[in-house]
Amino acid sequence: MHILLRLKRVFARHFIEFRWHNLLLALLFYLVASWLLMWLCGEQDIVRLDNFVYWIVVTASTVGYGDLSPVSPAGRLAASFFVIPLGLGLFGLTLGRLAASLSFQWRKGVQGFKSLDYNQHILVIGWHEEHTLQLLKLLLRELDYHAEKCQVALCVRAEMESPMPERIGFVRVSSFTNDEEMQRACVSTASRIIIDCQDDDATSSAALYVCNANPDAHVITYFNNESMGQLLKRHLPNIEAMPSVATEMLAKSAMDPGSSAVLHELLNVDKGMTQYSIEYAGSRDVPLRQLFLAFKERYEATIIGVSAGRRLPAEINPALSREVKPGAVIYYIADERINDFDWELGDV
For the segment 6-28, what is each residue's pLDDT rounded down to a tens digit? Answer: 644 554 455 455 566 777 787 88
Sign of CA dihedral 168, 172, 177, 183: negative
Query: Is this model's pTM higher than 0.75 or not?
Result: no
pLDDT tens per residue, range 137-152: 888 888 887 767 889 9
CA within 13 Å, CB half, 134 = 6
Phi and psi angles of residue 57, each rounded to the nearest 5 degrees, phi first = -70, -50
CA within 13 Å, CB half, 311 = 13
Q: Specify whether the CB–CB gap between 274 and 334 falls below 8 A.
A: yes
CA distances from 126 to 24, 201, 243 (A): 43, 12, 17
pLDDT at 337 over 70: yes
Who's near 76: CB < 8 A, 6+ residues apart?
Answer: 69, 70
Secondary structure of the chain in HEC code, one letter for each residue:
CHHHHHHHHHHHHHHHCCCHHHHHHHHHHHHHHHHHHHHHCCCCCCCCHHHHHHHHHHHHCCCCCCCCCCCCHHHHHHHHHHHHHHHHHHHHHHHHHHHHHHHHHHHHHHHCCCCCCCCCCEEEECCCCCCHHHHHHHHHHHHHHCCCCCCEEEEECCCCCCCCCCCCEEEECCCCCCHHHHHCCCHHHCCEEEECCCCHHHHHHHHHHHHHHCCCCEEEEECCCHHHHHHHHHHCCCCEEECCCHHHHHHHHHHCCCHHHHHHHHHCCCCCCEEEEEECCCCCCEEHHHHHHHHHHHHCCEEEEEECCCCCCCEECCCCCCEECCCCEEEEEECCCCCCCCCCCCCC
pLDDT band with cut points at 50, 70 and 90 for residue 106: low
Sign of CA dihedral 244, 246, 249, 250: negative
pLDDT tens per residue, range 32-51: 888 888 888 888 888 888 88
Q: Specify whether the CB–CB gap between 16 and 90 falls below 8 A.
A: no
pLDDT at 293 over 90: yes
Burial of residue 1 (CB within 10 Å: 0-12, 13-18, 19+) is exposed
More confident: 313 or 110: 313
Least confident of 114-123, 204-213, 235-244: 235-244
pLDDT at position 191 is: 92
Percent of the chain with pLDDT over 90: 24
pLDDT at position 107 is: 67
pLDDT at 98 over 60: yes
pLDDT tens per residue, range 232-285: 777 777 788 776 665 666 666 666 777 777 777 777 776 778 889 999 988 889
Q: Specify whether the CB–CB gap between 70 and 79 falls below 8 A.
A: yes
| Closest to 220 in 3D by CA, of 246, 205, 248, 242 | 242
pLDDT band with cut points at 50, 70 and 90 for residue 188: very high
pLDDT at position 348 is: 46
pLDDT at 123 over 70: yes
pLDDT at position 153 is: 93
pLDDT at 330 over 80: yes
Phi and psi angles of residue 154, each rounded to the nearest 5 degrees, phi first = -120, 130
For the ranges 91-105, 124-138, 234-248, the one whose mean pLDDT is highest: 124-138
Instruction: Kindly state the average pLDDT of the residues 213-221.
Output: 89
Q: Specify whether the CB–CB gap between 38 and 46 falls below 8 A.
A: yes
Per-chain mean pLDDT for the chain: 81
